[in-house]
Amino acid sequence: MVLTGFSIPETGATQTRSIPDWSTKHFEAAGRPLRIAIDQANWWCRNITAAKDAEIKSMERIFYLLRMNIQLLFVFDGRNKPPKKWPAEYSYSESNVRLLKELLDQLGVPRHDSPGDSAAECVRLQELGIVDAIWTDNTDALMFGGSPTLVQFHKKPEGDQFKRTNTVKVTSGASIRQDANLTKEWFLMYATLVGCGYTNGLEGFDATRFFRFAQHSYFQGAANLLAAAAETPNVLSKWRMIVTSIITATFPDEAVSIPSKTFPDLSVLRGCARPIVSPDFILQDLACLRAGWFRPFGPDMLSRYRFLLNNFNTQIHESWRRKQ
């Protein structure tokens, strides 16, 4: 396959699918509902801002997917992850994370705390066959290995628009690797040089320049060295020499930086190349696998009503206030 630049859709690995149709066909083929692990950090970044109406819209997406007989598993970031960069308009805080966890518990939607990066944990869940896809538009997931299936909504399908738009974009990691020959090491180099959720990359690198860079005959060797450096850091000096020679040959008259002696940050590289995930025996024994993916709403309904009204309804009836 010949690509004119780097673009996931251009690889041919992304399809637009109807949610009801996908859910129905999966149930007919597998004998169980479609299961999707949600990369909570990415879900928050794309759906939750400081505005209450944005929070409500994100919940409507959850309700819609549940109505379509899709089993959801929210996966949260853990402590052992490199620090992430968050856009200023998103109010990502520990208190907000606690609020979301309580909401999921009130709705009976399964959740799981990963030891490190939530996207890496989602990839491992799919590798083990516990889930069928991962809800994220973060292509960083492709550097964690496996062949993840990435799912995302189109831009604005909230609320009443579900009646007109019930489709999602589904990207096959297997197709990316087989048809476009974009390997795990390819994506690791991309994240390191162009940037990802953990690092800004090298100054002057962007997706288009990286694709030109990746055409060089030395590229795959450099990519392999970078992956190996997560466990054997002393090979980074050789990696820097090769990358510098490729940059010099590919961009002789362009303002593209070369890696310094401290680039890349070793802790970030390790987080990207060898992310910490839960042991398989823990993932294969999640509560939702033992006790079921859906829980009854019957117990303690009054407490649940109060929680939802207090946090997601700005117009609480006076009678509810008196009862509290």
Nearest alpha carbon to residue 196 among 294, 279, 53, 81: 81
Pairing mode, strands 34-39 and 167-172? unpaired
More confident call, 163 vs 187: 187
The top-scoring range by mean pLDDT among 55-64, 135-144, 310-319 is: 135-144
Structural domain that includes position 225? 184-273
Residue 191 near residue 225 (C-beta atoms within 8 A): no
Strand arrangement of the beta sheet that strand 14-18 belongs to: 14-18, 167-172, 149-153, 133-135, 34-39, 70-76, 111-113
Nearest alpha carbon to residue 118 among 107, 109, 126: 126
One domain for residues 22 and 164: yes
Residue 83 near residue 41 (C-beta atoms within 8 A): no
Q: Is the pLDDT confidence value at 324 over 70?
A: no
Mean pLDDT of 124-152: 88
In a domain, 323, yes or no: no
One domain for residues 112 and 256: no
In a domain, 112, yes or no: yes
One domain for residues 118 and 257: no
Mean pLDDT of 53-80: 80
In 128-264, DSSP assigns E strands to 133-135, 149-153, 167-172
Conformational region of residue 295, where left means phi above 0, alpha means psi within -120 to 50, and beta covers everything else: beta
One domain for residues 286 and 265: no
Residue 150 near residue 209 (C-beta atoms within 8 A): no
Say how many residues make up the chain: 324
Query: pTM here?
Result: 0.83
Q: How confident is the model at residue 291 (pLDDT cuts 50, 70, 90)?
A: confident
* Nearest-angstrom CA–CA distance, 10 and 159: 30
* Nearest-angstrom CA–CA distance, 297 and 322: 24
One domain for residues 267 and 281: no
Structure token digits, residue 278:
């839960």
In a domain, 321, yes or no: no
One domain for residues 230 and 283: no
Q: How confident is the model at residue 285 (pLDDT cuts 50, 70, 90)?
A: very high
* pLDDT tens per residue, range 89-102: 555 667 778 878 88
Residue 68 near residue 104 (C-beta atoms within 8 A): no
Mean pLDDT of 240-258: 94
One domain for residues 47 and 160: yes
* Nearest-angstrom CA–CA distance, 192 and 186: 10
CATH number reported for the structural domain that contains residue 86 in this entry: 3.40.50.1010
One domain for residues 199 and 162: no
One domain for residues 97 and 244: no
One domain for residues 112 and 261: no
In a domain, 317, yes or no: no
Q: How confident is the model at residue 315 (pLDDT cuts 50, 70, 90)?
A: low
Count of domains for the chain: 2
**Helix, strand counts (H, E) of the chain:** 15, 7
* Nearest-angstrom CA–CA distance, 162 and 61: 9
Q: Which pLDDT score is estimated for 164?
A: 57
Q: How confident is the model at residue 1 (pLDDT cuts 50, 70, 90)?
A: very low
One domain for residues 127 and 36: yes
One domain for residues 129 and 41: yes
In a domain, 233, yes or no: yes
Q: How confident is the model at residue 2 (pLDDT cuts 50, 70, 90)?
A: very low
Residue 170 near residue 15 (C-beta atoms within 8 A): yes
Mean pLDDT of 36-43: 88
In a domain, 42, yes or no: yes
In a domain, 312, yes or no: no
In a domain, 3, yes or no: no
Q: Which pLDDT score is estimated for 53?
A: 45
